[in-house]
Each structure stands twice: as C-alpha cells, then as structure tokens.
Amino acid sequence: DALLEVRNLRIEFPTRNGTLVAVDDVSFDIKPGEVLGVVGESGAGKSLTGSAIIGLLEPPGRIADGQVLFQGKRIDNLPYEKLRRLRGAEIGMVFQDPLTSLNPLYRVGEQLIETIRTHTDMSERAARKRAIELLAEVGIPSPERRVDQYPHQFSGGMRQRVVIALALCVNPKLVIADEPTTALDVSIQAQIISLLKRLCRDHGAAVMLVTHDMGVIAETADRVAVMYAGRIAEIGPVQEVIKRP
Ligand code: ADP
Ligand code: ADP
C-alpha cells in the first residue's frame, strides 16, 4: 500500500492575462521506506510539487485540481493546524537552505527540544538527551557542547546535518528533501546524501528526493520520476529510467 499518493495534481498561478499551469496532471505514489527521486530541469515543477504535498505552496500559487493522500487519507484539504501537526509529526522536511528550517534566533538544541516536545510527551530533560543523541547520530562532533550553539555557529554542511536531525527527530514516515545539498560544497554533497539515505533507512522513513542532479538519483533512489514542463515525463525503477539514452 502507498504511503503517499499524488493524483492528477495541478498547480496554477494567476497571470496578467490568464493562468499559468505550472504543474499539470502529476500522479505518483511513494511506498513505505522507499526513496523516490524527482528530477528535471530548473522550472520543471519539482519544488512546487514537493511544497504542495505538505501544504507549503505559497500564494498566489494554488492547487487547482487533484488530490494528495497520506496513509490513505486526503491531506490536500486539511485545515492549516492539522497540516502543521502532520508536517511535524509524520512528514519531515529538508530544504536547500538550512535557514528555511532553522530559526537563527534560537539555539539548535532549543529547536530540536521544542519539536520533540510538541509531538511527544517527553520531559525537557529527556528531550534534551534525545537532541544530543540526534546530533551525534548525524555526525556533529561534541554534541553536548554544540547543542547550545546557534545555527550561524555551524558550517553549511554541519547546519544541513542539524536540519536532517530536526527532520528525523519525531521519526516521520516520510521525508521530503528538496535540493538538500545544492547550497553545499561539492566535496560534502555526497556525504550529506548518504547520511540522509542511511538515516531514513534506519528510521524507516520513505524519502521524496527532489534534485536536478541525476547522479544523486542514480546513487540513492529506488524509483525516479522525471519531470518536464510541469508534467511527469517518465517514472520507473531507477535502473530502467537512467539506462535509456
Ligand atoms: P523546479 O523546482 O523544477 O525548478 P518549480 O516547481 O520551482 O520548478 O517551478 C516550476 C514553474 O512554476 C516555474 O518555472 C514557474 O513558471 C512557475 N512558478 C514557480 N513559482 C512561481 C511564482 N511564485 N509565480 C509564478 N510562477 C511561478
Ligand atoms: P510556525 O508558526 O511554527 O512558524 P509554520 O506552519 O510556519 O508554523 O511552520 C511549521 C513547519 O514548517 C516549521 O518547521 C517551519 O520551519 C516549516 N515551514 C513553514 N513555512 C515554510 C516554508 N515556506 N518553506 C519551508 N518550510 C516552512
């Protein structure tokens, strides 16, 4: 059974003289524990699709048609508060810019603890312990010290590790990663991708990995959807799709 089902998704923007259809008739599913890669050129509609699934499509963009189901239930029509809860508890997110997920004004530990405590009944003390364990798990050295530092005190790669810890801290069933390494030095991109993949596997989370980088998909994904001009041009097992000329 599918964890996530996207059916005939259509995303529109109003324009001066009509409507721009940015995503059109996009359908796919993600099974529990699976890594689905979504590739395509810039402007193909990948990010809009990822954002729309989790209710973060920014106006004036809007879902004009289609449905999104998570564990068999529609989520495209949920009220804001319910979607927000779902994003914290069941669906983790990793974006290109770590500061989309991390608030620069709070210590990283505070943000992990706040997220853990919002979605579990852990005590402050237990949540802090869990936050330190998570930082260790994503490869942050000296986590007992780093837990009390602010996001700007981390390098880009380390900050993205913190974001991954934040995305995984309540054991989501799905992680949506949108160009998670594009802003990082090439030398650390592969490390972050393999970390993301390993951790999601360990935590039993499926991944929707949005990237323009076919190499990343070849290394990481089970299946791949190729988007072109707002549509899915091709979808299938990664070996089949990538083998084609
Ligand atoms: P990708 O992630 O594949 O690079 P996006 O999903 O970000 O592509 O965007 C797909 C297309 O949607 C863009 O090429 C553009 O035409 C349209 N689009 C995205 N954001 C906006 C916006 N804020 N206003 C108008 N059109 C937009
Ligand atoms: P809050 O009132 O706590 O900011 P939001 O619904 O804005 O509630 O945020 C819920 C989660 O979604 C947070 O983890 C936040 O970082 C993330 N989030 C909110 N808006 C965006 C966005 N436009 N892009 C990416 N992540 C977002």
pLDDT at 244 over 80: no
Looking at the whole model, is its pTM more than 0.95? no
Query: Distances in Å between the alpha carbon of 65 and those of 83, 119, 140, 179?
Result: 18, 31, 43, 25
204 lines ligand 1 (CB under 6 A): no
Complex confidence, ipTM: 0.74
- Tens digits of per-residue pLDDT, 179-214? 999 988 898 999 999 999 999 999 999 999 999 998
Of 87, 91, 164, 168, the one to substitute when testing ligand 2's pocket (max ligand atoms within 8 A of C-beta) is 87
Other C-beta atoms closer than 10 Å to the C-beta of 177 total: 28
CA 237/CA 219 separation, integer angstroms:
13
Residue with tokens 């999601």, as numbered in its chain: 200
First CA to last CA distance, the chain: 32
Average pLDDT value over all residues in the chain? 94
- Tens digits of per-residue pLDDT, 43-84? 999 999 999 999 999 999 999 999 999 999 999 999 989 998
In Å, how far from its chain's centre is CA 41?
18
101 lines ligand 2 (CB under 6 A): yes
103 lines ligand 2 (CB under 6 A): no
pLDDT at 46: 97
